[in-house]
Structure 1
Amino acid sequence: MTLNSFFKQCHEKEVFKMLSIYVVSAWVILQVLSITWQPLGLPQKSVTFLIVVLLICFPLYIFFLWKFRIVPLQKAEIDTDEKDQKKKIAFQKMYFSALGIIASICVIAVFFIVNKNFFQGNKTLLPKIIQSDKIAVLKFGNNTGDPQYDIVSKMASDWIIHGITENNVAQVITQDLVDEYKAILKGKNVEEDETTIVKEYLKPSKIISGNFYLKKGKLIFQGMLIDGKTNKTIISFKPTECATENPLKCIEDLNESITGYFITADKKNLTIQESPPKYEAYKYLIEAKNSNDDQEYITLLNKAIETDSTYFEPKVLRVQHYFNQREFKKSDSLLKLIKPDSYTNKRQLNLLNMHEALLKGNNRTVYNTYLKEYEIAPSDLGSNSTIMIFALQFVNRPEDVEAIYKTVVMDSMNLQNCRDCIFRIYVKAYADIELKNYNSAIKIIETAQKENEIKYLNRPLLIAYIRSGREEVLEQFLRKIDITATSAEAQELYLQAGKEYLLKGNKPKADEYFNKIINSEPNTVAPEMLADALFYKENYAIAEKVLSKIHTNEPKNSNVLSKLAICNFKLGNISDAEKNIQNLENIRANFQFGEIDYALAQYYAATKNKAELYKSLLKSVASGHVFHWKYYKNDPQFIDYINSKEFEEVLNFWK
């Protein structure tokens, strides 16, 4: 069949007519959506989604034309001879060939559209501001009644234009261009109102305008952003105040607010602020989030707060930073200074409640409140890693970690430049270990270690090797550690190996590792490391001497006091043991999160006082003591109790 014959039959069967209906209808729908997506509150990429859907549906529509229109027509026709039958077969082949070509074109088009709009990441530290249609910046109205301030009107618009163009927000329609149009249109049947000219002839997507006036000897600037299509006010910026001799300060502050709005406009769900932050403050916050240095991090947060005193997020991050640094009093005092933008801002209130619960040791509330924050941006590495920690260490829910971890695809991540990525692997490995998925933990760590030698992944790897019974691989791993690691790093792993074998009930094997520490050169072993090795080997006499020296230098070290009291008891020095237990009680203070009760529980475990043991463990967990790799069922001091019903109650306290 020739192409002309094919087109002729398509015309006879009204194929082109039906296709034109689809194309015209699709075009009308696109035009309507392109105008109404913003007033309807739809996502900015709604038009893109619709184009993709229409392209996918087009070949399906052609197929349905065949099935429900052409096939019934052919059945109604009477075949007079074999020639007519061949024509039908030839038409069918050409029709489906055309369908295949159109489907291929649509698929390729969809691929390019999706790839361009949804999978091209931003490589800069600061996110690019959304490219929009043109933005008109009009001259600010001088409401002072003093002509000397007319120059300030022009200065304000020029400064805002500079901020928009410098930060690549959009193409700008200037006041000069508006004035040109006013001159050109003069005398024509057009109102000379600037707003009318801007809307009817220049058609920007947004209009920035404002005015300024005098109040008690001060200049007050007001600015607003208007939708160019609907003429509705998108946002009224907070008024700025300055001295009459320094109007530039007001203009700079307003410019910062406008630029801050545009840079956060596409992140409404992620923005904690009710009003946009100043752009300079936002830049400091982004730099802080990308810093790997604690001092630089807190310095940049402080700069963000100094630049914009109303900026909520850096204030919360500062509270969190000092909590992580164990400066709990400072964290608490800074938290009390933070006020939400309003008491209807649920997200700000939720974050404040979370940090308050964190400082009170209410771990269930910490987890539940932060889950709301995580659900807003589950793929954000910071939020993702934080909720993993809360699940594992705060509420002892290692089973929750897997789903959270899988939210972020790690295949293309560069671990050398991603601290949160490494930390996620660290937490995921410990969660796997708690769930006895040792092979999974080993695999994820070994894969990461091939890309980047990460020292703090060595401990979970060693634990997984021992608990999975891979002793040959363990020995090979430790031989490598002896060569590549420092003495202190190697001793940490020896101590952990010894404790792991105690948990497995293999004391002779455990003692081999403790002896590696005890027999090290004296100047290469830290006193507390030596004391721990002697203590776990049950060499209480020497351990007591070492611990006593440490206690003299660190009288408030609860771990040392607990072990010292146990050594006293094991050696029959009951009065000394009771004295050190009283010393433990005497160092109780705020923000210890069950530390003292946990230390007492260790003592009661050694003295076989079950009632006080379980009571102290419950008090410790209720006060916010975390489920760490060295606590509770991972602590060999509780080896005789970890399978009891009461111990299980402790582990499930926050579930």
Structure 2
Amino acid sequence: MKLNSFFKQCHEKEVFKMLSIYVVSAWVVLQVLAITWQPLGLPQKSVTFLIVVLLLCFPIYIFFLWKLRISPVNLTIEEEEDEKEGSKRIAFRKMYFTALGIITSICVIVAFLIVNNNFFKRTIVATPTIEKNDKIAVLKFGNNTGDPQYDIVSKMAADWIIHGITENNVAQVITQDQVDEYKSILKSKNIEDEDNTIVKKYLNPSKIISGNFYLKNNNLIFQGMLTDGKTNQTSFSFRPTECPADNPLKCIEDLNELITGYFITEDQKKLMLQENPPKYEAYKYLLEAKYSTDDQTYINLLNQAIAADSTYFEPKVLRVGHYYNQKEFKKSDSLLKLIKPDSYTNKRQLNLLNMYRALLKGDNHTVYNSILKEYNIAPFDLITNRTAMVVALQYVNRPEDVDDIYKTVAMDSMNLQNCSDCASRIYIKAYADIEMKKYNSAIQIIEDAQQEVEAKMLNRPLATAYVRADKTAALNKFLKRIEFTANPTQTQELFLQVGKEFLLKNDQPTANEYFDKIIDAEPKTDIEMLLADAYFYKEEWAKAKIALKEVLQKEPKNIEATAKLAICNFKLGNSADAENLLLHLETLRANYQFGEVDYALGQYYAATNNVNSVYKNLLKAVANGHLYLWKSYVNDPIFKNFRNQKEFDDVMKFWN
């Protein structure tokens, strides 16, 4: 049926007439509700809700129009119609329901968009918001230059600050114009002309922003203050801003940033790292950095925050921490030396600076005490909480402390897909449970997390827990899935870890099965050390020696590979080569190694069964900051015959 024929029949059957009745009636109802919702005490979104209901009812109305008005008429003439008329009737019905389907789709889509935009709030974490407070009065700044040409700057400063407050929804603002209007009205009542008096007595703001500016050496210097609206006492003085006399807008912009920054951080004073609030733009960059998942974006945003406010302490400290975590220790140390505290009475700033100095020196006892102080101030901050867990487990070997720190932040409402710190916290908690032999707890927390998000970092602790809990069937099922979903490097890293775990259980044959998977794997990974380790832990010393030499050709300063090559030479009877490699190890000592050479020497002496030298070098390693990781000390198969000795226990409890 052609479209014009369809419209003609709709007109004949009074379809358009009935539809227009619905549309007009709906419009009238909407107009009435738009006027009466407030007097009737209905919610503000009542009109929106009615629009959605009317939209969804429209296709239902069209359907019942067919059912109750058009279809009965068709039935009465069905017996009398000829074949041609019958085909027209069928074509009309088909076109009618096609149109109904299109209208239904449009109504549903429009209703969905309305509901989505009005009834579901989206939270954008990158940009901070400020809760609306009581009224704030912004008075024009006093011109103390003695030059009338700067009178306009007085008004400009107030207007700019008002714009910043209203734009960020800080509070209702009382402007200078409103104050002047009151002054003109109240003159006949012998009211003093002082702006502060009028504001306080008649407008009752909670806070008053005022200030002045003056000339010094051809520069304008602006001073702003915040006054309590009730007591009329100055509650905060903003640091002065200075700019060329021919560019007062720069001073005004800087002052505006300081004022907005003050209000946005006012309810976080306990968590602030500095006495003076940062500029708003700097604070925004910092907040965006904290929610960034990309390292380069993170450091760029920190640099932007520092550029926006050179006095902002927190991004400077976070930048030091970033380069430390990236193992760029020299850069981290040089940036740390550039940071000066706001004052030597700011205990929190001094504590953080002491913590990073201790980190770069390998003084893990001081690191732990410092992070606990920071944790007690901000226990619910995810970064601080995660860092405290890491330090407790890996720096001072106190896995028993991890659980209480972990439980401080409830994970039930966390979306793991959008929270990298959450996955890191689960990783540390799982390893802490493993160290305390709570294998089932570690398995449960990881399996629960992996149902929500595929976090590759959790695969290694899960495999470790399966082996130590003797859950062979679960381990095999897990590794079979990994072989299909992970890349060759990730798969073979897990095979190596599982093999080492069986070595710790003194099950060399089962361990060798996993090492063979690495040796026989196709394709090979691009990490030569994996193959070298497989031969090494399988005790195929000659093949391990060849593989380790290939590693050292590419990485001549690889301390771990050098120590293992020395062990291979010793096992093969090449004592002279082994001794030369030990001498070479000594030449590899450098700053920021945190006992890595001493630990490697401890490995060598363990493999050669030189008991006294084992403990001597391990104590030196831990004293210099070598971490208690998933692959070191009691978790290192090289030390499996030494783990139960008292001297080894002294190493593990060195920082306790």
Corresponding position of 2:637: 636
Tell me, yes or no, if structure 1 residue 338 matches structure 2 residue 342.
no
Alignment of 1:490-529 (within 5 A): 490-521=491-522, 523-524=524-525, 526-529=527-530
Paired residues for 1:25-64 under 5 Å: none
Q: Distance in 2 between matches of 1:234 and 1:382?
A: 32
Per-residue CA deviations over 1:454-475 (Å, capped at 9, x if unaligned) read 1110100000000000001111
Contact 1:122 1:128 in 2 (8 A): no
Which residue is 1:289 aligned to? 290
Q: Is the 8 A contact 1:130 1:266 kept in 2?
A: no
Contact 1:322 1:330 survives alignment (8 Å): yes
Matches within 5 A, 1:191-202: 191-202=192-203
- How far apart are the structure 2 equivalents of 1:356 and 1:452? 36
Q: CA deviation at 1:523?
A: 3.7
| 1:153 maps to 2:154 | yes
1:208 maps to what in 2? 209
Amino acid at match of 1:286: L
Contact 1:240 1:250 in 2 (8 A): yes
Which amino acid in structure 1 is aligned with residue 472 of structure 2? E
2:234 maps to amino acid: T
Letter paired with 2:587:
N
SS in structure 1 opposite 2:410?
coil
Q: In 1, distance between residues paired with 2:401 and 2:426?
A: 14
Superposed displacement of residue 190, structure 1: 1.6
Deviations 1:571-599 (A, max 9, x none): 00001100111111001001000100000
Q: SS at the partner of 1:222?
A: strand
Verify: 1:360 aligned to 2:361, yes or no: yes
Name the residue aligned to 2:468.
467
C-alpha contact (below 8 Å) 1:598/1:616 kept by paired residues: yes
Question: C-alpha displacement at 1:379, in angstroms?
Answer: 0.9
- Structure 1 residue aligned with 2:431: 430
Query: Hey, which bits of structure 1, 4+ residues long, moved more than 4 A?
Result: 120-123
Match of 1:144 in 2: 145
Q: C-alpha separation between the residues in 2 aligned to 1:646 and 1:228? A: 67
Distance, in Å, in 1 between the alignment partners of 2:336 and 2:540 is 46
Q: Secondary structure at the match of 2:214?
A: strand
The 1:501/1:523 distance shift into structure 2, 3 A limit, reads closer
User: Residue 208 of structure 1 aligns to a residue in which SS?
Assistant: strand
- Take 1:332 and 1:418, find their aligned partners in 2: how far apart are those partners? 29
Output the amino acid matched with 1:163. G
Q: Secondary structure at the match of 2:272?
A: coil
Amino acid at match of 1:439: N
Instruction: Report the counterpart of residue 579 of structure 2 in structure 1.
Output: 578
Secondary structure class of the residue paired with 2:189: coil
Structure 1 portions without partners, runs of 5+:
1-119
Aligned partner letter, 2:585: L
CA distance in 2, matches of 1:437, 1:238: 54
2: CA distance, partners of 1:377 / 1:338:
22
> What SS does the corresponding residue of 2:578 show, helix, strand or coil?
helix
Change beyond 3 A, Cα 1:471–1:525: farther
Distance 1:167 1:245, change over 3 A: same
Q: Look up the equivalent residue of 1:321 and give its one-letter code.
A: H
TM-score, structure 1 length as denominator?
0.81
Where 1:424 maps in the other structure, the secondary structure is helix
After TM superposition, give the deviation of residue 122 of structure 1 in Å.
Answer: 6.5
1:579 match: secondary structure = helix
Deviations 1:264-314 (A, max 9, x none): 100011000111101111111001111000011111111111111111000
Asked whether 1:649 is paired with 2:650, we answer yes
- 1:213–1:219 contact (8 Å) kept in structure 2: yes
Q: In structure 2, what is the Cα distance between the partners aligned to 1:591 and 1:583? A: 18
Rounded to whole Å, the distance in 2 between the matches of 1:558 and 1:178 is 74
Residues in 1 aligned to 2:321 and 2:511: alpha-carbon distance in whole angstroms: 38
Which is worse superposed, 127-136 or 470-479? 127-136
What is the SS of the residue equivalent to 2:270? coil
**SS in structure 2 at match of 1:186:** helix
Q: Summarize deviations over 1:605-630 as a string: whole Å, max 9, x none.
A: 01110111100000000000000000
- The structural deviation recorded for 1:526 is 2.9
In 2, the alpha carbon distance for the partners of 1:542 and 1:307 equals 57
The residue type paired with residue 553 of structure 1 is K
Q: 1:432-455: per-residue Cα shift (whole Å, max 9, x none)?
A: 000000110000000000011111
Deviations 1:337-390 (A, max 9, x none): 100000000000000000000000000100101111111111111110000000
Letter matched to residue 362 of structure 2:
G
Corresponding residue for residue 252 of structure 1? 253
CA RMSD of aligned residues (A): 1.1
In structure 2, the residue matched to 1:384 is 385
**Structure-to-structure mapping, 1:208-227, within 5 angstroms:** 208-227=209-228
CA distance in structure 2 between the partners assigned to 1:374 and 1:207 by the alignment: 36
Following superposition, the deviation at residue 232 of structure 1 comes to 1.2
Q: Secondary structure at the match of 1:640?
A: coil
Q: Secondary structure at the match of 2:220?
A: strand
Corresponding residue number in structure 1 for 2:79: none
Mapped partners of 1:603, 1:556: distance in 2 = 17
Structure-1 separation of matches of 2:196 and 2:456: 63
Deviation at 1:552, TM superposition (A): 1.9
Query: Which residue in 2 is equivalent to 1:125?
Result: 126
- What's the counterpart of residue 47 of structure 2? none
Report the Cα offset of residue 121 of structure 1: 11
> Is this contact kept in 2: 1:208–1:223, CA < 8 A?
yes
Say whether residues 1:554 and 2:555 are aligned partners: yes
Q: For residue 149 of structure 1, give the secondary structure of its aligned residue in structure 2.
A: helix
TM-score scaled by structure 2? 0.81
Contact 1:388–1:424 (8 Å) recurs in 2 = yes
Q: Distance in 2 between matches of 1:277 and 1:222?
A: 16
> What residue in structure 2 maps to residue 279 of structure 1?
280
The match for 2:453 is 452
Distance apart, 1:519 and its partner CA: 1.1
- Partner Cα distance (2:209, 2:122) in 1: 30
Q: Give the conservation status (yes or no) of the 8 Å contact 1:544–1:568.
A: yes
Letter matched to residue 278 of structure 2: P
Shift of the alpha carbon at 1:125? 3.1
C-alpha deviation, 1:123, in angstroms: 5.5
Provide the rounded CA distance (Å) in 1 between the counterparts of 2:445 and 2:261.
40
Q: Report the AA paired with residue 130 of structure 1.
A: E
Distance (whole Å) between structure 2 residues aligned to residue 521 and residue 203 of structure 1: 78
Q: 1:123 to 1:283 in 2, by over 3 A?
A: closer
Describe the SS at the equivalent of 2:188: coil
Whole-angstrom CA distance in 1 between matches of 2:439 and 2:124: 36
CA–CA separation in structure 1 for the residues paired with 2:348 and 2:522: 55
| 2:424 counterpart SS class | helix
Task: Summarize deviations over 1:94-148 as a string: whole Å, max 9, x none.
Answer: xxxxxxxxxxxxxxxxxxxxxxxxxx99763334223211000000001111111
Give, in whole Å, the separation in 2 of the partners of 1:181 and 1:280: 35
Gap runs ≥5 in structure 2: 1-120
CA distance in 2, matches of 1:524, 1:605: 29
Corresponding residue for residue 326 of structure 1: 327
Q: Secondary structure at the match of 1:375?
A: helix
Q: Is the 8 A contact 1:134 1:172 kept in 2?
A: yes
Aligned to 2:73: none
**Residue in 1 that maps onto 2:300:** 299
Q: Give the Cα separation in 1 of the matches to 2:617 and 2:645.
A: 15
Structure 1 residue 159, shift from structure 2 partner: 0.1
Return closer, same or farther for 1:522/1:563 CA change in 2, 3 Å cut-off: farther
Q: Distance in 1 between matches of 2:480 and 2:451?
A: 17
Q: In the alignment, is the contact (CA less than 8 A) between 1:430 and 1:441 conserved in 2? A: yes
Aligned to 1:409: 410
Structure-2 change in CA distance of 1:383 and 1:352 (3 Å): same
> For 1:349 and 1:122, how far apart are their aligned partners in 2?
35
Tell me if structure 1 keeps the 8 A contact 2:502–2:508: yes
1:619 matched to 2:620? The reply is yes
Amino acid aligned to 1:150:
D
Give the letter for the 2:634 counterpart: K
Deviations 1:202-248 (A, max 9, x none): 01000000001111111111100000011111111111111111000
Cα pair 1:405 1:424 within 8 Å, conserved: yes
User: Which secondary structure does the structure 1 equivalent of 2:236 belong to?
Assistant: strand
